[in-house]
Structure 1
Amino acid sequence: MATDINKRLAQLRARRDGSDRLAMDSAARSEWLGKALSSGAETVQESWEKRASVNNKHTAYALGAMQAVSATYTRVSVETAERIGNQLESRLGKAGLNVEFRLQGSVPLDVHIRRVSDVDLLTIDTDFLVYSTSGVQGRNGYYVQTPKTSLSVLQTLRNFIEVELPLAYPQATVDTSGAKAVKIHGGSLPRMVDVVPAHWYDTDAYQASKIEADRGIQILDKKAAVTLTNYPFLHIRRIIDRCNGAGGGLRKAIRLCKNIKADAESEGTAISLPSFDIASTMYHADMTNLAFGRYFELSILAETQRHLDVLARNNEYAKTLMVPDGSRQIFDTPAKLQGLLSLSLQMDELLRRVAAEQGAIAITLEECRNAIRYLNQ
């Protein structure tokens, strides 16, 4: 499973400087070219590129693949979503629809790996919700009954979004073919935004705590004409809490996995494990081991490889692991287990290459982990 590390480093840099999306739309291209002309962006090195010697390319890749995208560029992603939200709030309000907005996905969790990252914008109808009848407020008659249904409310909201977005951004491309989101990009928008119609679902936990992380949402699957319940804020909160306890190591492990997946797939190796499930998988890693990354960053590679190896070798154990919000098993299809194996093998190879670059005479994967766990880079 030999890899071209020069190609992988080039692809990593391209994701991080935005040049991987130059063909996506004019606004993203203008942003990148403006940075290049004003600051020589093509030649500027990030700090991770200077921490490994010129011959230690796998080490440089491992370190770079863990790092967060610059907060400046993440802010552009958030601000683009906010612009769209402001337009929709005004336009939908005139039609009698009251909405509010939240972000979900990799950007608010800070595990996105591209400077030009797509953003998920939940557009939440605030005039309708569903609730658990077993919750404290549900039992005590707090909620008002309505003849409306979740499906009809979300279908109406989706229809209005599909009409209003092209009117608000006539130069942009609006794609209404998706089952769960309306995609918009181009024109004056420097980022692609997935606009997801939703309404609130008040869980038992939320009725008791009034903490938004405990609150669910329901979204529309337009093609199947059904609604789906998700818990994006609980997912985010639990990963952030665990990551904070590991000194930031959990987010770095997630980014490392996502970068390796992106590069492996560009080389023809499919890794059928979505971003959400990669984050969920690493949520169950050893946080004590990841916490060593505060002082020895390569220990994050060591723990990530160890954890994936354990799961890939013991599918029965892997199938017991739940996503952070507790709503389902992570590995709920054979394809995901195959994706786990493919990702694990990719991580094995990176570990071996990094250990060799550090002068380790190691044969087993455990020896490789021990060789790099406490190295300063």
Structure 2
Amino acid sequence: IGAGGRVITCRAAIAWTTNAPLTIEKVEVDPPKAGEVRIKIISSGICDTNKHILEGKDKVPFPAIWGHEGAGTVESIGEGVTRDKVLMFPLPECRECSSCLHPKSNFCLKERLVSISLTFFHPIYGTSRFTCRGRKIYHLYGTSTFTEYTVVHEIAVGKIDDDAPMDTVCILSCEVPTGFGAVFNIAKVRMFTPGSTCVVFGLGGIGSAVVMACKASGASRIIGVDIKEEKFPRARTLGVTDCLNPQKLKKPVQEVVVEMTGKGADFAFEAIGLIDTMVATLESCHPSYGVGVIIGLAPTNSQLIFDPMLLLSGRTLKGGALGNYKTRSCIPKMVTDYLQKKINLDPLITHTLPFESINKAFELLQGGYCIKIHLSFILEK
């Protein structure tokens, strides 16, 4: 298929260091080895995790090609692999390890989402498929979607419907399953009587997906928390009933939430990735049966410290990656649901920019001027 065993030269956005713009460079992309897929990227989302890496909060190796929300088409394959239109996942599903085989787990033991090793370029093989200026370039999370072509191991690739709109479905690689699954699979909001009270810390892309899922689950009150009030109008259209800016409150936001709800929220979701908001999430929960869910990726080497008495009364603190969905098995079905209009992704994408404007995209994200940015690799053609 495609170029087969040839090295491809294409454009990629390379991060050489933190707190600096990415540079569009010519890179060489090696052909896939056994069990790998070389993919032509059509669209990629920018997750807030990438923003945290740029700011130096999450430590990763440099130089690297970032991006983990990608949709594309298979250009060439290694031995034993067949794929067509595909999504790439930051969390693989090998279908062999104890986590993949367990019915309640999705955290594949071959992941490179949390346990990033500075000595490994590419999962499985420990080498790189990217070269720029004679230097090997790191992959990130085993995906690297800020490039016109990438190489991904087949356990992190899912075939999707042939008629899937590739300019939209890239956000199903991370944002949508992470937000929806936090509500449906981790907190299990639907297990309770409709009319629950939920609080969502962070109204970016994932937080917005959480809001949509809470509303779909019948929550009667959804409190949105963010320091960027520019996000509030859109959050209200998605289902938020009350908006709080912690910087404008006279007391800690969790105390305000408790006062607003009587004793605390039924469910609280942390979609920012900061230790302070993780503690606030737990303290916002009802003391007897409140459920707090950590979604955001905390800064490297962080330690979560809170009073254990918060749990003794009955509160629950939970976590999960990609919404506890088994990626290859479950997420392609979400694409089908979108095509059948069972779920709506359109409100979650607020900006579409050409790939070459990737630094503009990061500026918008860091300034809080958008909810979710989608990069297109075809607009500039």
For the superposition of Structure 1 and Structure 2, which TM-score range results when normalised by the shorter chain?
under 0.3
Greater strand fraction, Structure 1 or Structure 2:
2
What is the TM-score of this pair, normalised by structure 2? 0.27
